[in-house]
Structure 1
Amino acid sequence: MSSHQPSREDLIQTLLLASRESSTLAVFFHTNIAERVGLGATEEKTLGLLGKFGPLTAGEIASHTGLTTPSVTGLIDRLEKKGMVQRIRDPHDRRRVIVHPNQERLAELDRLFSSVQEAFHEVLDIYNDEQLATIADFLIRSAQRSKELMASQLGKEEES
Structure 2
Amino acid sequence: MDRDRALREVEQAGQELSAAAVMFHTAVGERLGIGPSDWKMMDLLERHGPCTAGELVRHSGLAPASVTGVLDRLQRRGLITRGRDDEDRRRVVVTLTGVPADRAAEVFGPLLRELGEVHAGYDADQLALITGYLRRAAAAQTRATAEITAAAEPGAGASGR
Match of 1:56, SS state, is coil
**Superposed counterparts of 1:1-160, under 5 Å:** 6-103=1-98, 105=99, 107-108=101-102, 110-111=104-105, 112-154=107-149, 160=156
Deviation at 1:18, TM superposition (A): 0.8
Q: CA offsets, 1:34-58, max 9 Å, x none?
A: 1111111111111111111111111
Indicate conservation of the 8 Å contact 2:62/2:146, yes or no: no
Aligned residue identity for 1:135: I
Q: Distance in 1 between matches of 2:17 and 2:117?
A: 17
Aligned residue identity for 1:87: R
Deviation at 1:98, TM superposition (A): 1.1
Q: Which runs of 5+ in 2 are unaligned?
A: 157-161
Q: Distance in 2 between matches of 1:19 and 1:11?
A: 12
Q: Which runs of 5+ in 1 are unaligned?
A: 1-5
Aligned residue identity for 2:75: E
Indicate conservation of the 8 Å contact 1:51/1:106, yes or no: no
Q: Distance in 1 between matches of 2:4 and 2:113?
A: 33
Identical columns (%): 36
Q: Distance in 2 between matches of 1:50 and 1:106?
A: 15
Indicate conservation of the 8 Å contact 2:57/2:64, yes or no: yes
Q: CA offsets, 1:67-122, max 9 Å, x none?
A: 1111111111100111101111224433321111114x253554232442232010
TM-score by length of 1: 0.84
Aligned residue identity for 1:79: L
Count of matched residue pairs: 154
Q: Distance in 2 between matches of 1:94 and 1:32?
A: 38
RMSD: 2.1
Deviation at 1:141, TM superposition (A): 1.7
Counterparts in 2 of 1:106 and 1:57: CA distance versus 1, 3 Å: farther
Aligned residue identity for 1:46: M
Q: Distance in 1 between matches of 2:126 and 2:85?
A: 45
Q: Distance in 2 between matches of 1:128 and 1:91?
A: 44
Q: Distance in 1 between matches of 2:140 and 2:93?
A: 28
TM-score by length of 2: 0.83
